[in-house]
Copies of this chain bind each other. A is one copy, B any other.
Amino acid sequence: MAKKQQKALFDLAAQDAVDLLARARPDEAMRENMRICEALIFASTEPLSEEEMVKRLPDGADLSAALAYLKADYFTRGVHLVRVAKKWMFRTAPDLAWVLQREKKDAKKLSRAALETLAIVAYHQPATRAEIEDIRGVALSKGTMDVLLETGWVRLRGRRRAPGRPVTYGTTESFLAQFGLEQISDLPGLDELKGAGLFDGRLPKGFGVPQPRDDADLTEDEEPLGDQPLEQSFAADLPEETSEE
Q: Which residue numbers of A lie inside 8 Å of B, CB to CB?
A: 31, 34-40, 42-43, 55-56, 76-79, 90, 92-93, 96, 99-100, 102
**Contact between chains at B99 and A42 (CB < 8 Å):** no
Q: Is the CB of B77 within 8 A of A43?
A: no
What B residues does A92 contact at CB under 8 A?
Answer: 39, 42-43
- A interface secondary structure, majority: helix
Q: Check if A100 sits within 8 Å of B55, measured CB to CB.
A: no
What is the bound-complex CA distance between A56 and B78, given in angstroms?
14
On whether A56 and B102 interact (CB within 8 A), knowing A36-B78, A78-B37, A96-B36, the answer reads: yes
Inter-chain CA distance A34–B78, complex, in Å, is 8
Q: How far is the CA of A37 from the CA of B77 in the complex (A)?
A: 10
Q: Within the complex, which residue of B34, B39, B77 is in contact with A100, where a contact is CB–CB below 8 Å?
A: B39
Contact indicator A42/B78 (Cβ below 8 Å): yes
> Are the C-beta atoms of A100 and B35 separated by less than 8 Å?
no
Residue of B39, B78, B79, B100 near A78 (CB, 8 A) is B39
CA distance A186 to B76 in the complex (A): 34
Closest beta carbon of chain B to A104's beta carbon, Å: 9
Cα–Cα, bound, A31→B78 (Å): 9
Q: How far is the CA of A173 from the CA of B202 in the complex (A)?
A: 65
- Complex Cα spacing A96 to B35, Å: 8
Q: What residue in chain B is nearest A55 (Cβ atoms)?
A: B102
Instruction: Enumerate chain B residues within 8 angstroms of A100, measured Cβ to Cβ.
Output: 39-40, 43
Known: A34-B78, A78-B34. A99 touches B39 (CB 8 A): yes
Give CA–CA (A37, B96) in the complex, Å.
Answer: 10
